[in-house]
Amino acid sequence: MSFCIAIDGPAAAGKGTISKAVAKHFGFAHLDTGLLYRATGAKTFEGLTPIEAAESLVAADLDRDDLRSGDAGQAASRVAAVPEVRAALVDFQQAFARREGGAVLDGRDIGTVICPDAEVKLYVIASDEVRAQRRHKELVEKGEDITLEDVLEDLRERDERDAARATAPLKPAEDATVIDTTEMGIEEAVAKVIALIEARRA
């Protein structure tokens, strides 16, 4: 039996952490779809066009250790605005969403485009400042030398581009439940989401 949980939202709102915890709780597979775009963006650093990069993507590309950098995030957001790049990545994501045993996918367009019939749709948000603090901490722990102001600017620039693009823009599905993690600890958010999913599965 398939069961798809779609978790969308802007950068660093907490959707990755929530997705992993929810997948673990229910024993579902998890796909961080941002990694597909980050890996595509990273391949353009080596001279491929965005379309060539997306069409030649293989599983090993997702294991690169530079995918979490700020540069890879910006490159991901740029290639993600190219309709042919998005088209090249659809089949893989849709097959993942409908795999046996249940799946959690997090991204920007899961509830709107990839899995519009998902059993559960969430849209995770948090204030710009809180998102920037979380992402800054993460990057500094990885050894990046970056200021909080630069992280905030980077997130806002990326969100604006992701929300303004013509194809599959960042936006909540009409039937998504909005989870605001600004004031909530991540544990509280995870507990709330698990309760919501359990109610839908009953």
The token pair that represents 78 in the structure block: 């740029």
* Site for ligand DC, residues 70 to 89, rule: CB under 6 A: 73, 76-77, 80
Q: Which stretch binds ligand DC (CB under 6 A): 19-27, 34-42, 46-54, 123-131?
A: 34-42
In sequence order, what DSSP letters do the residues of 119-185 get, joined into one string? SEEEEEE--HHHHHHHHHHHHHHTT----HHHHHHHHHHHHHHHHH-SSS-S---TTPEEEE-SSS-
Phi, psi angles (nearest 5°) of residue 7: -125, 110
User: Which of 178/198 has CB closer to ligand DC?
Assistant: 178
Stretch that binds ligand DC, among 22-30, 48-56, 102-110, 125-133 (CB under 6 A): 102-110
CB of 200 to ligand DC, least distance (A): 22
* 154 lines the binding site for ligand DC (CB under 6 A): no
Q: Which of 38, 43, 121, 136 binds ligand DC (CB under 6 A)?
A: 38
Residue from 3, 28, 37, 96 binding ligand DC (CB under 6 A): 37
Strand order in the sheet with 29-32: 29-32, 103-107, 4-8, 120-125, 177-180
Choose one: 43-51, 101-109, 123-131, 190-198; the region binding ligand DC (CB under 6 A): 101-109
Task: Name 33's Cβ contacts closer than 8 Å, sequence gap at least 6.
Answer: 89, 93, 105, 106, 107, 108, 110, 114
> Is residue 131 a contact point for ligand DC (CB under 6 A)?
no
Residue 154 three-state SS:
helix
Of the pair 11, 97, the CB lying nearest ligand DC is at 11
By the rule CB under 6 A, 13 interacts with ligand DC: no
Binding site for ligand DC (CB under 6 A): 11, 33-34, 37-38, 73, 76-77, 80, 107-109, 158, 162
